[in-house]
Amino acid sequence: MDFKVNTVHFTADQKLVDFIQGKVKKLELMYDRIIASEIYLRLDKNEEKENKIAEVKLLLPGNELFAKKQCKSFEEAADLAVSALKKQVERHKAKTA
């Protein structure tokens, strides 16, 4: 699976990238036909504490799954987005089986 992390308005450290990559790799264990994943990390400009946004897109043969979460930390946002994608992957697997 190809893995790409894009950051907007900041530079992510390697520890954060590795954490997110580990989470997304677990999805590949569930469903081995995932072609690629694209992760977008953004800082929202508002003054709220929950200003970190993680968007995760999975490319599957003939389909695309997407989840977006906004939280206090990128780790939490990525974790919730991957959890949402886990449910989507399970539904997709059931449809194609």
Residue 27: per-residue pLDDT? 93
State whether CATH 3.30.160.100 applies to domain 2-96: yes
Confidence of residue 18 (pLDDT cuts 50, 70, 90): very high
Residue of 70, 78, 59, 69 lying closest to 12 (CA atoms)? 78
For residue 58, give the 3-state DSSP assignment: strand
Task: Please report, for the chain, the start and end positions of each structural domain, with discontinuous segments joined by +.
Answer: 2-96
Residue 1: per-residue pLDDT? 86
For the segment 16-33, the average pLDDT, to the nearest whole number, is: 93
Q: How many CB atoms lie within 10 A of CB 79?
A: 17
Residue 44: per-residue pLDDT? 85
Q: What is the pTM of this model?
A: 0.91
